[in-house]
Structures are given as C-alpha cells and as structure tokens.
A and B are shown apart, each in its own frame.
Chain A
C-alpha cells in the first residue's frame, strides 16, 4: 500500500520535471515547478506515514503509539509555505517579463546571451 504513495509522488515529480524541461510557455513551466514541489511534499509525507494511524495532533485519546510520525508533517508545512513564496515571486517576475517583452514564450525572451 505504502509503495503506491511513493509511486504517485515520484510520478508527480517526473511529470513536473518533464513540463519544466519541454514546455515553452513560461506559465506552463511554473505550473510544472508547482507540480514537482507537490510531488516532493507527498514523498516527504509518505516517508512518515504509518498505516492505520491518526494525525499527530494532541487530542483526547491520541497517544504517540496511535499517531503517525509528526516531523515530516512539520517539514512539509514549511516546504509548502516556501513553495507558495517562490510561486508568488515567480509569477510577479513573469508579469514583469510580459510587460517588457510582450510574450511568455521563453524562446523569444533572450536579452541575455553569451
């Protein structure tokens, strides 16, 4: 069962990487980046998953024996926040690029070379 999560996570990472490497539209590349980050987060979560246990929140009846490993969840929470910041910044830069070059095609945005 757990290998299904790993499989899903790694496929997401590869789909994202494929989009980044092959697409020419900047927004599609950024979508690929987000998909890749989601895949990584899913991988981290599945590392700490123990089949049949509950969320690691201190409530009535939840003990360390019945909860999953909390550390990967804390990590993923941080990683999601960082991912949101990166995506927001990237979209801002994309808007700026569109205003300057009037296109989002990365083949046509080539002011710097050499």
Chain B
C-alpha cells in the first residue's frame, strides 16, 4: 500500500466526526456502534502503519497536498508516533465499548463527535511535523477536552471545565508567543528545519522561546504550576473520558514538549531548558504523591497518582541521556496500559455502585471479584513490585539516573514508590479485608474481557519485558536522534 494512506489516520476521525449528525437521523441507537466501528477501522490503519514503520525501519512521511516541506505541512510517523498512534486507537476502541454502558446523559451524538475529535487531536499532535499545525491539533484536543469535561452538566463538571478553559487559554497564549519568537528568528515553522537551523539562533532568545513553549504545553502535559485543572477534570468528566485523558491526551502534550525541546539538542539553550523540565517534573511528582495520600475519592486519588507518574516521565526526559529517554518512553507505554485499566475498573465500580468514593470499595472483593482483582493488579504494578510491568520502567529510570550520578532522582523515585505503596495498599486492604453487606453484582462480560486483556498485558510485559523494551528503544531513538529526524524529512531546496 502507498504510505500516503497514513493520512487517513487524521482524515478518518475528522470526516467521521462530521458525519455524526447524518448518522443521528438513523436513530440514536446506532451512534455508539458507529463510534465503535470508526475506532475499529482507525485501529486497523494504525496497526498497518505500525507494521509498516517497524518492518521497513523507515518513518512514513505524509506530504499534505503533495507540497514538499517546508512549503507544505508534513506528517512524520516515525517509530515513536507509530507506537503511540496505535495505543491511542486501541484505547479509544476500548472506551467506545465502555461508553455504551457509562454514558447515559444526552446528547449522545455530541459526545460521539467530541470523542472522535479528541482522538483526532491527540493523534495529530503526535504525528505532525509542523509547529503551527501542532498548535492547531493541540487546540482541537483542548477544546474537545473542555467540552467533554463539562459534558455531565453538573455544577462540578462546569467548574472543572472552567478551570481547564482558563488554564488552557493561558497555556495556548504562551505557546503562540513562543512560536512567534521561533518564527521571528528562524523564519520557518517546520520542525525539521527548525532543528537544522537551531544552532544559528541567539541562545537567549532560544531559551526564552523554549521556556514559553514548555509552559504552554505544560497545561496539556499536566506539569506542576499549570496542572490545577487535572484532578478536578479527572474527577468530574465522564469515566471513559478520564481514561482517555490519562492514557493519551497527557502523553501527547508531553511528547510535543519533548520533541520541540530535543530539536535544540546541540545548542547552548538545551541545558537550561532540561533543568527547567527536571524541576517541574520533580515538583509534579512530590505534589502529586502528597496530594494523593489524603484523598477519599478513589478517582481523584488515581488522578493525583497519574499526575505524579507523568512527573516521573518528565524527570526521565529531563535527564536526557539515551538510557533515560528509553526508560521514560517505556514508562509512558506502561503507564498508558495500567492507568487505562485502573480508570476503567474504577469507573465501572462507580457506575455500578453509584460513587467512586472509598466506601464503595469496601468489600469489593466479594461484590465484584474480577474488577477488584484488576484494580489490585494495577495497583501493585504502579507501586513497582517485580514481575509487573511498571517495575521494569522504574528500574530502568533508576539505572539511568545512577549512570549520570543524580542520586536525588533515585531518592525521588524510591520515595514516590513508597508513598504510592501507602495509598494503594490502603485501597487494596479496603477491597479485600473489609466487610460490606451489599450483594454480589453480576459483572459485564465485555468489560471483564477488556480488563483481563489489560491485566494479561501487564503481567506478560512484567515477566518478558524484552520484546516491548526493544520496540520502546526504537521509539526513543526516534525521539533522541535529531540528526536522523532532519535527514528523514525531504526538505525543499536542501540536498539529502
């Protein structure tokens, strides 16, 4: 197949989203099956792109309208983008199945449309090769995320959405100022060309521009000063949307940040920005973990835990040795799997028993044994017990930090694991060792299959980490090796 078909990854969700009003005429019942079908096709295309990239070892470059960059906008689906586009599509597919039970608020057609746009935005952020195009995709993601956060139309949902809108607005303004500085000094918006010309830029201006871009993207990436919206939005948005936020929206923001910062790898501005990311990441871990400790709402506790994990990933990218980047990308993949499982299970408990507060979880082992088992596996994995997947990524991150002699980061990772152990074992204790007088609940077959699949994935990666580790190393090299990135994009007027 012609690699240009990879543009369908963007085109399919976009057109499908605009077809939703037409589908609605056939009846409200068909909207969610239609959503499932679209995400299934998207998964197929993503799997094809993944296979293509990993068998040929070459990235897929899609030229919009056939114009060569930097005149036209290009999509760059390298090893990293191929892996994450696949994760996005698979998680979205699972969430459409979950939505059938979890979404009972009207208007369901608007929900389907926003769901597809959220998926499109995150895919686009990861796949694009142009900084302004990145901004547009970021805003598509953000605006659909604002609307989905407020979808339940309760006071709390509106409040969370409003916080998200205000912080997102500030972030996007910062991002645009950064773009203006970059464009003003380099005269280009293409990421590969920016990387090529990066050394010609005045280091002070480059540092200012990068700092603005980092702060702009920190809203989506949930780094400390700009993540106040995240726990509220996670708590108030519909359950499938929470899974999507945690599994890939935040990853897309983090990826965009790292991609832009790493373009300046060989310039004097790089070290200062790495320190900024390290500090932001460390603060995010500390504050996330400490806030998670005192939550009684399990969904909110998981939100803080998710934020802390993102902080750890940011710390990995801040260390910026090849080993640390490998470990950070591995942690991204593992975190996507585990948090998809956790939020799915907790959301399922919340819709069955009415509330995601800790009282619902008392005696869950008797009421919903399979769901309780899934939550237990996820919790143990996050804490970092061997034979579960997150152990390996935390371990690699530790090794990478030791290699550069940053013992502070080692202490941070171990301390974070300790705090996680405290609040996750509290949850496990509540589930298995406390009594409750409620009856046993019949568990839904489709959700059980999805949860068991994710549990199996966690354990398989935990026992045999090598295959995934090899994939992840290739993906991380794509992020780290900027010279290769420049070489792969066929820039107009530049001989290869």
Contacts and interface: CB of A to CB of B under 8 A. Distances in A.
Interface residues of B, number: 40
B114 to A, nearest CB: 11
A43 B136 contact: no
Interface in B113-149: 132, 135-136, 139, 143, 146-147
B155 A97 contact: yes
Contacts of B469: none
Contacts of B172: 82, 86
A97 B158 contact: yes
A94 interface: yes
B236 interface: yes
Contacts of A101: 155
Contact of A71 (B165, B183, B294): B183
Contacts of A13: 173, 177
Contacts of A39: 173
A55 interface: no
A36 interface: yes
Contacts of B135: 79
A85 B177 CA distance: 19
Interface string A21-35: 000001001100100
Q: Is the interface of B mostly helix, strand, loop or mixed?
A: helix
B257 to A, nearest CB: 19
B429 interface: no
Contacts of B146: 86, 89-90, 93
Contacts of A48: 183
Contacts of A111: 155-156, 159
A114 B295 CA distance: 7
A112 B165 CA distance: 16
B162 A33 contact: no
A33 B169 contact: yes
Interface in A33-89: 33, 36-37, 39-41, 43-44, 47-48, 71-72, 75, 78-79, 82, 85-86, 89
A112 B143 contact: no
A93 B139 CA distance: 17
Interface size class of A (residues with CB under 8 A): 35 or more
Contacts of B159: 97, 109-112
Contacts of A44: 176, 179-180, 183
A41 B176 CA distance: 8
Nearest to A44: B180
Contacts of A79: 135, 176
Contacts of B2: none
Contact of A36 (B170, B183, B236): B170
A89 B165 contact: yes
B245 to A, nearest CB: 16
Contacts of A96: 150, 153, 158
B258 interface: no
Nearest to A38: B173
Contact of B166 (A20, A71, A109): A20
A37 B153 CA distance: 27
Nearest to A96: B158
A17 B177 CA distance: 13
A109 B180 CA distance: 36
B204 interface: no
Contacts of B154: 100
Contact of B139 (A17, A30, A33, A82): A82
Contacts of A40: 173, 176-177, 180
A29 B163 CA distance: 11
B235 interface: yes
B160 A112 contact: yes
A26 B143 contact: no
Contact of A100 (B155, B183, B300): B155
A75 B173 contact: no
> Which residue of B158, B172, B297 has the most chain A CB atoms within 10 A of its CB atom?
B158
B195 interface: no
Nearest to B167: A20
Contacts of A90: 146, 162, 165-166, 169
A109 B160 CA distance: 10
A36 B294 contact: no
Nearest to B144: A89
B222 interface: no
9 contacts: A13-B173, A33-B166, A43-B177, A72-B180, A93-B161, A96-B153, A110-B159, A112-B232, A114-B297
Q: Report the 6 A-B pairs with minimum CB-CB distance, sorted nearest first.
A: A100-B155, A47-B184, A96-B158, A33-B169, A111-B156, A112-B232
Given A36-B173, A89-B147, A97-B159, 16 more contacts: A37-B169, A37-B173, A40-B176, A40-B180, A48-B183, A72-B183, A75-B183, A78-B136, A82-B143, A86-B146, A86-B165, A96-B153, A97-B162, A109-B162, A114-B231, A114-B300
